[in-house]
Amino acid sequence: MTAASSVAGNSAEGDPAFDPRFMGPVYPDAGHVHSRRDRVFARLVARAPRWSAPAAIAACFASTAAYVWISNPTDAGAASVPTCLVKLTTGLDCPGCGGTRAFYYLLHGNIPQAVRYHAVAVFAAPFLLWLYVGYAVKKIWGKQIPMPRLSSGTVSAFIAVWAVFMVVRNIPIAPFTSLYV
């Protein structure tokens, strides 16, 4: 019996799917709950209705949207509370600078002004909403709706575009200064 098979608890010498070079991560028994707090949490999770997680996410989103709607971040400067520490200390736009103002304008239906503050966030917003709706429908009703397939290459390309956008909006030359917020 090899070391890998003894850890797995079985002799898989003849199993063609068994590869002794990789046995994967070794976790403690997931069915065994160690502390009283873990047992209480496990009972709460087991008894929670299917809709509770999507509802909690929706409640967090709604409270954030209400705060942004009421606080009107378009009147604030870099030194106003809440503040952007990167912009306050360096004077440069960080990757998220303008995102709250873009969200404010999206809530008001002013898409051109939202794009002016953060084009990448406005581009990502419908996809994030689509992913949430797909998650909620599957979690609550058990139905699968068509979902975008986000490969690692797609996510990497999005992050690269976001990084380029961050650099370009900080270039102090005429065509790029319009992106500065």
What b/e readout covers 121-151, taking b as 16+ CB neighbours within 10 angstroms? bbeebeeeeeeeebebeeeeeeeeeeeeeee
Give the distance from CA 84 to its chain's centroid.
Answer: 20
∠ CA 83-85-90, nearest 5°, is 125
The answer to whether residue 64 sits within a structural domain is yes
pLDDT > 70 fraction of the chain, expressed in percent and rounded? 77
Domain that holds residue 138: 51-179
Report the domain count for the chain. 1
pLDDT tens-digit map of 38-68: 888 888 888 889 899 999 999 999 999 999 9
Cα 37 from Cα 170, distance rounded (Å): 49
Q: Model confidence over 25-36: pLDDT tens digits?
A: 554 555 565 788
Percent of the chain topping pLDDT 90: 44
Does residue 168 belong to any structural domain of this protein? yes
| Residue 139 belongs to some domain of the structure | yes
| Residue 9 covered by a domain | no
Q: What is the pTM of this model?
A: 0.69
